[in-house]
Chains A and B, each alone.
Chain A
């Protein structure tokens, strides 16, 4: 019975010691994790956000007190293990879409980022349409250069000189 008690006491001690080591190790790990957040990591996220005070000033370069607080907030969130997108989403939730350099709301994101491509596509299609229409309406207009501007197809010296001469006539 005594041997059993001694054995269980020893087991308890080993367990307690093990837990202590685990606790110390995890505390050290947590502290290390906090200290390991560098300014560069903070700035990498801050670069994708805007200063809450100055218009259109990226957060990573702004030196106002508000921006310094925000960067420390980012550092804290990084230390707590949050990801880049979670941190930006948190700022947007608290301060609005203006906090982010690219809107997170899908509608606003679509409006801002995809609309230029849609406009460009429409312009391109419109341009191609106008070009073909123009070509068809211009068929009756002379397409050859004027009389003093002979067409140049050959790449020899004389042809190049003729082309150059046309270019030089201002």
Chain B
């Protein structure tokens, strides 16, 4: 019954989205209001229907309806309720449905919020959001249906189909439960509960700013209306994507057991590329708002952000990453490739058409090399170059090599660090300089004067770092440019607060809080810069100064590494966990400078093989964290004589990455937080009221 309910809701959602596209298109082209209203109503139906389908699947997961092939594939009778819930996005067809749910939810909210304020854009907004939804709902319905069931055919073979084949019957519930596979062990982690939904939220929410941009192009309303409507959505999308990336890094660090958080894996890079282009867009869009410039560039940035989202989804879901030939064999690879190509080509074509008609002309020229718009453009070039370099290493070179030379290649971390390091350095330098420059006009002399204090603070900090024992010109340079960007953010917050305090007589804290309230986006942006600075310090420390060793110890023996001493006590073998996995746990005591600081229990989680599914062993690390560094140990292997091999990493400053992530979240929330919406009469009165000094208003 649940399968039928889910299937019906999914089919209706697909139908509603398709109808909304056609009705909105007709209404917009023929100026028929009734069709537009009808399209809106259909578009608003898509979310509740997709929610209904998702709830049907969720109930099936929670109540162990193993005849539904997806439930059989991702759960088994040992699966705790917690993982039954997260199994909704634990495999292809469920995660695609979940993707649809999030996308339709965003479209639903954006449509309701903007219906009255952006009336001219709305018909085209419906066309674009619903076209994307219809495509993904179609994938769910026709190619990756999560409601397909398992049937025993008359000849005894097993089939998975949505509708019952002639002569087939359902298998016995006992047999289904006995053979059910269960969730992929890699996904049984707290990070996996949050990481995929956040990443999906980041991915799908970029459809909203993209749809606003395309609506502007299609409707001809090329004023800043679409930017005003889209910018907060872009910020929200960027926040979710940032959170998804950060949590993905944390999950890799805690679960994958290789001592790091970022492996430059193509799947990670597929999520990082839209983040980079989206970051460029968030900066560049300010130039269009303030100066009416870069209209074409902004269109390209939002198009390629969304295109990168679709490409990343296509690459990770189609098997393209395994082999360029495998995506064509996957059920959704061909369709996704065509959709990605169509979205990109149509959007680029529309932009070029408007450009050619002279409708995207800049209202101002560049005022000078030291102006903020010039520095923002340079920053944009760096972000795009980073995205291109990472795309090339992850997809471009391997695909070209396989297609042209028939040779499989994969590029390792060394390629990415070599190519991206100078670009990241340029990014931090520009992040340090640009906030001190001025819109429209600026001189290098004035910029230089403003840099004196942050530059001096950076030199003092570098001196302290040098005294603390850090050596190496490269490392000090890297720390220097990263800290400079942070000091600039702090300096600018302090300087503006002080200026307001002098003008109003408030104390500096009150003055600064008032400034935060006056322009949340500006000051939230400074907090985000601080977060990126802290993350940068963590990345430099943990990359340049990571130390590792691997040794085999007998029980009672100790491993000395830097100021740590790790003593191996023995192994608790064959422990059984609640979910049925076996655990071999190594018992270690850790001392630092002679004092015991922790007991660590790195372990092997062994998932026994079941019918039709191979067993899997996961190596779960033990770690001792301080702000200064992490002592991170892996139990590599145990030997018959009772000895065991351990791999130990010391990761300096790695926790700054997670703390920086928190700062970044706070900053983005401040930026995205809606301003107080006072009634028009109150706003009028406020505008009319003269102020003593502009800045203190």
Contact = CB atoms under 8 A, between A and B. Distances in A.
Interface in A134-161: 134-135, 138-139, 141-145, 149, 151-155, 157, 160-161
B381 A127 contact: yes
Contacts of A153: 441, 443, 446
B597 interface: no
Contacts of A61: 257-259
Contact of A102 (B363, B414, B522, B675): B414
Given A56-B263, A138-B364, A145-B364, 18 more contacts: A39-B647, A43-B647, A55-B410, A58-B263, A63-B257, A63-B637, A97-B408, A101-B414, A103-B409, A105-B407, A112-B392, A113-B419, A123-B385, A151-B440, A161-B694, A164-B695, A165-B695, A169-B519
Nearest to A112: B397
Q: Which 10 A-B pairs have the closest CB atoms?
A: A101-B412, A138-B365, A145-B440, A39-B550, A61-B258, A151-B441, A165-B694, A112-B397, A98-B408, A161-B695
Q: Which of A103, A144, A169 has the most CB of B within 10 A?
A: A103
B381 A123 contact: yes
B409 A97 contact: yes
Contacts, number: 177
Contacts of B190: none
Contacts of A3: none
Contact of B499 (A108, A155, A160): A160
Contacts of A103: 401, 407, 409
23 contacts: A38-B550, A39-B551, A43-B647, A96-B407, A97-B409, A98-B410, A105-B407, A108-B407, A112-B409, A119-B392, A123-B381, A124-B381, A135-B365, A144-B367, A145-B367, A160-B499, A162-B694, A165-B697, A168-B518, A168-B522, A168-B695, A170-B521, A170-B675
Contacts of B645: 39
Nearest to B619: A63
A158 B266 CA distance: 51
Given A152-B441, A157-B502, A161-B695, A40 B548 contact: yes
A163 interface: yes
A145 B548 contact: no
Main secondary structure of the interface of B (DSSP, over half): mixed
A68 to B, nearest CB: 8
B549 A56 contact: no
| Number of chain A interface residues as a range | 35 or more
A111 B518 contact: no
Contacts of B384: 123
A160 B405 CA distance: 59
A143 to B, nearest CB: 5
Contact of B522 (A138, A145, A152, A167): A167
Contacts of A134: 365-366
A167 B519 contact: yes
A143 B365 contact: yes
B33 interface: no
Contacts of A63: 257, 617, 619, 636-637
B495 interface: yes
Interface string B314-330: 00000001100000000
Nearest to B441: A151
B405 A48 contact: no
Contact of B550 (A40, A149, A155): A40
Nearest to B368: A143
A98 B385 contact: no
B496 interface: yes
B515 interface: yes
A143 B322 contact: no
Given A43-B550, A120-B385, A163-B438, A58 B365 contact: no
Interface in B426-451: 438-443, 446, 449-450
A5 interface: no
Contacts of A55: 321-322, 410
Interface string B118-132: 000000000000000
